Amino acid sequence: MKSLDLNEAIGISNGETVFLRADWPAPSNVHTLISTRNGGVSKAPFHSMNVGMHVGDDDEAVCENRRKIQNQVGLPLKYLNQVHGTDVVQAVDGEVPADADASIDRSGMVACAVMTADCLPVLFCDRMGTVVAAAHAGWRGLQGGILQNTVAAMGVPPEEILAYLGPAIGADAFEVGQDVYDAFCREMPLAEAAFEPIGDGKYLADIYMLARLILRREGVTQIYGGDRCTVLERDSFFSYRRDGKTGRMVSAIWLNKD
């Protein structure tokens, strides 16, 4: 994942990375932006680029943070009311945030956006640059089918799809119980490789490996990213697992139709 040279544009002078973009061979008309925790105006414990309206932060600070991000994207970011489900919506539809965990767009009029703070953001496009999507995949949504549903909603052959795995909780930090292990491994025996037993019915789970297994099973083989840890990279990312009360990052993708 490569840093965008945007620090100066939003007044950051201390060398902090503010935004990231997907490092993948997407078509030139496909654009991405992934925020870090840096470069915003929110106070602790949401310092500083929190985009989540639902976490207890000051609304004015969140609006200012969203404005800073909006200025970099240009198109309206279509946030979702994420519910850890499996529904996919058209990002261009509706003024009120939809109860969904993924959105797609072919219009080039809006940016698909998902918020995370340990859950896995997955960005999608096709090789021709005709459709993009963003999915929020916590373990429940991942196990329930959010990635499969997003791939299906894109309406292109899976072999034409590129997927980018954004910053999420890493395999050294994601401790889960027997219920999570069973939920994945009952339906997908290969998922056993993504769980390291640590005793007392607990496991360290590799959410990136689980996503790759699911995507490959759907026929998506061009998969990139999956090399960050929101828990361990304290200076760069919010983490609900680490901090409890904390902010949210946004991962966005959009088409340039010009």
Label residue 15 by pLDDT band (50, 70, 90). Answer: low
The model's pLDDT over 177-236, given as tens digits with 9 standing for 90+, comes to 999 999 999 999 999 999 999 999 999 999 999 999 999 999 999 999 999 999 999 999
- DSSP helix/strand/coil, 255: strand
How large a percentage of the chain has pLDDT more than 70? 94
For 80, list phi and psi in degrees, rounded to 5.
Answer: -115, 155
* pLDDT for 10 beyond 70: no
Residue 181 falls within a domain, yes or no? no
User: Region 103-111: what's the mean pLDDT?
Assistant: 97
Residue 4 falls within a domain, yes or no? no
C-beta separation of 16 from 32 below 8 A: no
Place of tokens 């965990």: 101
Residue 60 falls within a domain, yes or no? yes
User: Region 52-69: what's the mean pLDDT?
Assistant: 96
Number of structural domains (the chain) is 1
Q: Give the dihedral of Cα atoms 30, 36, 38, 39; nearest 10 deg.
A: 20
Residue 39 falls within a domain, yes or no? yes
Residue 9 falls within a domain, yes or no? no
Residue 133 falls within a domain, yes or no? yes
Domain limits at 157?
17-168+223-255
Residue 200 falls within a domain, yes or no? no
Tokens of 209: 């490996």
What's the CATH number where 121 sits? 3.60.140.10
Residue 76 falls within a domain, yes or no? yes
Burial class (CB in 10 A: 0-12, 13-18, 19+), 11: exposed
Length of the chain: 258
Instruction: Please report, as a single letter, which amino acid is at residue 104.
Output: I
